[in-house]
């Protein structure tokens, strides 16, 4: 049992790492680099299909076009063989799709094929999106010494039990024609033109899979280490449902890279960016579970190694709160509410006070530096010096609502604010959306609430 001061220090030490990028507002950027792009509409697919096979009723007008069509059909067939080999775990058939003259690339690719052996895929397919997406350098073309073709080809995959719609990953591929047959020659040639194929977990090493009751953990590490993350997620999910309710899938994909540097690679970021971040949740604001791939909680294993049981629990509950509430987290949901709500549920069972869990803000308030307003979304950017205070303000605003109005009202406020606008009505203006939700759910308005909150901060700081 920890003595109070030790417990306080532990929670204190947790705060910087709680600066979780799960601020869903950041997702646009994250999505772009990790490929969690959710726009696989049927019209997009049809367009891509048309590009591959040519639209029906449009006969080729000349030999060049016929040649291009034949090439596209051959490459589409190659990609289909590759998908089938991945899904049926046919290593030989997979290797047969790779450039026979590039031993190093073959070895890397077969390594990736082996790395995913345990991963339960419900789907794995390719879609040619942009034929001729980039030019090969003269040196590269000359090294290949054969006809080539480049393309952006999206990989669409689904993890069994989680992804209703596929995760879409853009890949920038080079194909080469050898003795009349097309092969995959590279996935890195587009990088020079800024077209970098995003790194997936299985590019980093053999993936071990641990199934929990409420989670699937995909990780690079020992089964024992990964099992602990499954236990964390399994304990966190019911805690979240206890407040938020059952209206979410109740299961989470937890991704555990081996190092913080690997985490940064998965997120397409500089290695140092996540030094003080315990975990990140990726997903799409406002997307319902039936219309988007499942969220991923991506863990920083280096940060987690420093955490005690309580801290691990707080972080996981925080992240899974974002997962559960994402379909009600909108572009107009203020970050103080989404982060404060996640911290509120995260801290719920450990009786945290301002002294233990909001020391920076408490120090400021006691020194007469009392905030005049709720923190803006910009206050939650990871570069902000007073980032801890922003999280603490959000947490205390949600704690205040739960104490004065009731926990159910806090949930109701979140849901009312995040409800789908009526058909034909666009995204509301954020301040008026908040005002209207506060009036209807709490019978107060943002100005009056802010005054109550400032008084609350003063009282709690004592």
Closer residue to Zn ion in complex, CB, 292/390: 390
Cβ atoms < 10 Å from Cβ of 429: 11
Closer residue to Zn ion in complex, CB, 22/307: 22
Whether residue 409 contacts residue 438, with contact meaning beta carbons closer than 8 Å, is answered with no
Return the residue nearest Zn ion (CB atom).
22
> Which stretch, 8-16, 250-258, 339-347, 382-390, contacts Zn ion (CB under 5 A)?
339-347
- With tokens 């006070």, the residue in question is 353
| Intra-chain end-to-end CA distance of the chain, in Å | 26
Shortest Cβ 110–Zn ion spacing (Å) = 39
> Which stretch, 147-155, 272-280, 340-348, 416-424, contacts Zn ion (CB under 5 A)?
340-348
> Which stretch, 5-13, 284-292, 301-309, 337-345, contacts Zn ion (CB under 5 A)?
337-345
Shortest Cβ 30–Zn ion spacing (Å) = 13
The footprint of Zn ion on this chain (CB under 5 A) covers a number of residues equal to: 4
The DSSP line for 236-269 is HHHHHHHHH-S-S---EEEEE-SSHHHHHHHTT-
For residue 427, give the 3-state DSSP assignment: coil
Shortest Cβ 324–Zn ion spacing (Å) = 12
Would you count residue 387 as binding Zn ion (CB under 5 A)?
Answer: no
Cβ atoms < 10 Å from Cβ of 130: 16
> Which stretch, 16-24, 38-46, 126-134, 443-451, contacts Zn ion (CB under 5 A)?
16-24
Closer residue to Zn ion in complex, CB, 17/129: 17
Closer residue to Zn ion in complex, CB, 133/342: 342
Shortest Cβ 325–Zn ion spacing (Å) = 10
Shortest Cβ 322–Zn ion spacing (Å) = 5
C-alpha angle 316-320-322 in degrees, rounded to nearest 5: 125
Would you count residue 22 as binding Zn ion (CB under 5 A)?
Answer: yes
Closer residue to Zn ion in complex, CB, 163/339: 339
Shortest Cβ 9–Zn ion spacing (Å) = 22
Token output for 388: 């801890």
Would you count residue 280 as binding Zn ion (CB under 5 A)?
Answer: no
> Cα–Cα distance between 429 and 452 in angstroms, integer?
24
Would you count residue 342 as binding Zn ion (CB under 5 A)?
Answer: yes
Closer residue to Zn ion in complex, CB, 21/433: 21
Q: Residue 298 contacts by C-beta under 8 Å, 6 or more apart in sequence?
A: 255, 257, 263, 266, 267, 279, 280, 281, 282
Shortest Cβ 317–Zn ion spacing (Å) = 11
Shortest Cβ 339–Zn ion spacing (Å) = 5
Closer residue to Zn ion in complex, CB, 320/342: 342
Closer residue to Zn ion in complex, CB, 382/436: 382
> Cα–Cα distance between 153 and 133 in angstroms, integer?
9
Sequence-ordered alpha helix ranges (H) in 99-222:
103-115, 138-144
Closer residue to Zn ion in complex, CB, 22/184: 22
Shortest Cβ 360–Zn ion spacing (Å) = 17
Token output for 263: 């985490």
Residues of the chain by 3-state class (helix, strand, coil), percent to 5: 55, 15, 35
Query: Of 246, 301, 283, 327, which is closest to residue 26 (Cα–Cα)?
Result: 283
Which x/- pattern over 170-199 shows residues binding Zn ion (rule: CB under 5 A)?
Answer: ------------------------------
Token output for 83: 């998908």
Shortest Cβ 353–Zn ion spacing (Å) = 21
> Which stretch, 17-25, 86-94, 147-155, 240-248, contacts Zn ion (CB under 5 A)?
17-25
C-alpha angle 325-301-271 in degrees, rounded to nearest 5: 95
Dihedral of CA atoms 432, 435, 439, 442 in degrees, nearest 10, equals 150
The DSSP line for 52-77 is HH--TT----SHHHHHHHHHHHHHHH
> Which stretch, 147-155, 335-343, 377-385, 402-410, contacts Zn ion (CB under 5 A)?
335-343
Shortest Cβ 230–Zn ion spacing (Å) = 21
> Which stretch, 22-30, 122-130, 238-246, 411-419, contacts Zn ion (CB under 5 A)?
22-30
Shortest Cβ 33–Zn ion spacing (Å) = 19
Options 20, 136, 361, 437; binder of Zn ion; rule CB under 5 A: 20
> Which stretch, 173-181, 262-270, 338-346, 372-380, contacts Zn ion (CB under 5 A)?
338-346
Lateral strand order in the sheet of 252-256: 208-211, 215-219, 252-256, 296-299, 279-282
> Which stretch, 90-98, 126-134, 342-350, 447-455, contacts Zn ion (CB under 5 A)?
342-350
Q: At what angle do helices 359-366 and 4-17 cross, to 10 degrees?
A: 100
- Give me the residues that bind Zn ion (CB under 5 A), please: 20, 22, 339, 342
């Amino acid at each position: 049992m920890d003595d109070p001061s030790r417990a306080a220090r532990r929670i204190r030490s947790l705060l910087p790492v709680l600066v979780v990028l799960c601020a869903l507002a950041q997702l646009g950027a994250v999505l772009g680099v990790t490929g969690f792009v959710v726009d696989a509409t049927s019209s997009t697919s049809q367009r891509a299909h048309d590009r591959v096979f040519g639209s029906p009723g449009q006969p080729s007008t000349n030999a060049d076009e016929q040649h291009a069509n034949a090439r596209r059909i051959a490459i589409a067939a190659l990609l289909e063989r590759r998908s089938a080999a991945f899904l049926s775990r046919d290593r030989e058939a997979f290797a047969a799709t790779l450039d026979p003259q590039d031993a190093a690339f073959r070895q890397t690719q077969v390594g990736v094929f082996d790395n995913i052996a345990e991963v339960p895929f419900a789907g794995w397919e390719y879609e040619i999106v942009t034929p001729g997406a980039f030019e090969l350098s003269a040196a590269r073309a000359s090294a290949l010494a054969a006809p080539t073709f480049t393309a952006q080809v999206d990989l669409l995959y689904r993890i069994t039990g989680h992804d209703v719609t596929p995760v879409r990953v853009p890949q920038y591929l080079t194909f080469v024609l050898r003795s009349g047959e097309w092969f995959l020659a590279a996935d890195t040639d587009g990088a020079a033109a800024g077209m970098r194929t995003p790194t997936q977990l299985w590019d980093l090493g053999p993936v071990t899979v641990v199934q929990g009751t409420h989670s699937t953990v995909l990780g690079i590490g020992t089964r024992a280490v990964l099992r602990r993350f499954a236990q964390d997620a399994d304990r966190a999910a019911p805690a979240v449902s206890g407040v938020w309710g059952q209206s979410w899938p109740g299961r989470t994909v937890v991704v555990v890279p081996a190092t913080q540097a690997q985490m940064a690679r998965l997120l397409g970021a500089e290695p140092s960016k996540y030094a003080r971040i315990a975990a990140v949740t990726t997903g799409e604001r406002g997307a319902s579970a039936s219309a988007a791939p499942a969220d991923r909680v991506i863990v920083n294993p280096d940060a987690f190694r420093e955490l005690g049981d309580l801290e691990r629990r707080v972080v996981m509950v925080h992240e899974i709160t974002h997962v559960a509430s994402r379909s009600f987290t909108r572009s107009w949901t203020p970050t103080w509410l989404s982060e404060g709500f996640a911290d509120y549920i995260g801290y719920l069972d450990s009786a945290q006070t301002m002294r233990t869990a909001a020391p920076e803000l408490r120090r400021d308030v006691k020194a007469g530096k009392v905030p005049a307003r709720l923190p803006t979304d910009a206050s939650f950017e990871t570069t902000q010096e007073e980032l801890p205070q922003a999280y603490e303000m959000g947490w205390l605003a949600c704690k205040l609502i739960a104490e004065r109005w009731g926990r159910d009202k806090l949930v109701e406020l979140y849901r009312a604010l995040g409800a789908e606008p009526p058909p034909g009505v666009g995204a509301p203006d954020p301040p008026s959306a908040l005002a209207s939700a506060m009036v209807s759910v709490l019978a107060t308005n943002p100005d009056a609430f802010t005054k109550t909150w400032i008084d609350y901060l003063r009282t709690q700081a004592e």
